[in-house]
Amino acid sequence: MRRAMAEAEVGDDYYGEDPTVRLLEEETAAVLGKEAALFVPSGCMGNEIAIAVQTDRGDAILLDRLSHVAKVEAEAVTGILGRRFLFCDGDRGRLSPTDVAAGCGNGSEAGRPRLVEVENTHNWGSGSVYPLEQLRAVAAAAKERRVPVHLDGARLWNASAATGVPAADYAVNGDSVMVCYSKGLGAPAGSAIAGSKAFVREARRVRKVFGGAMRQAGILAAGGLHGLRHHRARLAEDHARARRLAEAVASTPGLSLDPAAIETNILIAEVVRRPDRFEDLIAAVKADGVLLYPFGGPARFRCVTHLDVDDAALERAVAAIRRAATRVLAG
């Protein structure tokens, strides 16, 4: 990937003249079954652009309460864009058509949501995957009410790897889709938003407004292109290691999680013995060379497997967690 980035052919993407960026956008659109795609610096910016294009100031967005847009991007969506949230409590982050019907059917016309946002896979849902039929039903419920759907697909590649469902079969349910190159695919930076040609044309304008138009961006795009071409097929390895890690954590005294809930590459565990020593546990594991991310609660942490975690690294992580739990959570 680094070699591809170093050797990338570049131009001025501000004017649409970078050949590597154009190639990445074309291949991404093809994989997602969309008319066009736009390279953006980050997934957060991609989501915000998609929201800005499809809604107006003061409009409401229907989404899961624990979605990334709600939990991490709220200041941008509400403070900068001036949009409002209408929350649903999904099943591990996954909305149902009933959620859409209820959210779109209550109150005055002015209070109805103008966009439905879904996330697949769902970060706070421990990498939960939308069943395809459920996502189709959610999209149909929104379409029936003339409300567009934005799919936050930062980890859409993981959903496809876990189910065998082509990314395009998920993406067709979104009027707009954001995908990330820097998570499962391992690029250092970059995402894309995809949709109709008209959507991408306006998204390109909004990207400039947000300060996201870059010059010789082909250096970054080359990393995303390498990941798109070569790293999707290996995501199943990350999922298998996540299941192994989940089983090891679940069998560690003082820690709790349900291994059966691990569908992709994310697991969220809870310290149930001596939760008051949670920070000591995190520090002890870090001292052993392993990072656990405090996440989702006062005594919970998240682990994510990725292409830099091989079998040997996984075993080191398991050993470090068990050593720390034995030492810190005893008594």
Pick the range with the lowest mean pLDDT from 107-116, 138-147, 170-179, 233-242: 107-116
54 and 185 part of one domain: yes
188 and 315 part of one domain: no
Q: Is the per-residue pLDDT at 331 higher than 80?
A: no
Number of separate domains in the chain: 2
Two tokens at 29? 């659109």
Mean pLDDT value of segment 10-26 = 97
170 and 300 part of one domain: no
Of 230, 260, 290, which residue constitutes the final position of a domain? 230
210 and 245 part of one domain: no
32 and 156 part of one domain: yes
Surface-to-core class of residue 306, CB atoms within 10 Å of its CB (0-12 exposed, 13-18 middle, 19+ buried): middle
Q: What is the pLDDT of residues 131-145, one digit of tens each?
A: 999 999 999 999 999
What radius of gyration do the chain's Cα atoms show? 20
The pLDDT value given to residue 98: 97
148 and 246 part of one domain: no
196 and 78 part of one domain: yes
Q: What is the pLDDT of residues 243-266, one digit of tens each?
A: 999 999 999 999 999 999 999 999
Q: What is the pLDDT of residues 213-247, one digit of tens each?
A: 999 999 999 999 999 999 999 999 999 999 999 99
Q: What is the CATH number of the domain that holds 19?
A: 3.40.640.10
The pLDDT value given to residue 256: 96
| Domain boundaries, position 322 | 234-328
Q: Is the per-residue pLDDT at 83 higher than 90?
A: yes
E strands of 120-217, at which residues? 149-153, 176-180, 191-195
Q: How confident is the model at residue 37 (pLDDT cuts 50, 70, 90)?
A: very high
Sequence-distant (6+) residues with CB within 8 A of 127 are 121, 155, 158, 242, 262, 263, 264, 265, 266, 267
Of 230, 255, 277, which residue constitutes the final position of a domain? 230
Q: What is the CATH number of the domain that holds 298?
A: 3.90.1150.10
217 and 244 part of one domain: no
Of 180, 199, 230, which residue constitutes the final position of a domain? 230
87 and 219 part of one domain: yes
73 and 174 part of one domain: yes
275 and 309 part of one domain: yes
Two tokens at 303? 């682990």
Nearest to 258 by CA among 269, 266, 273, 244: 269
222 and 240 part of one domain: no
Q: Is the per-residue pLDDT at 107 higher than 90?
A: no
Q: Is the per-residue pLDDT at 318 higher than 90?
A: yes
Nearest to 104 by CA among 44, 61, 46: 61
The pLDDT value given to residue 330: 84
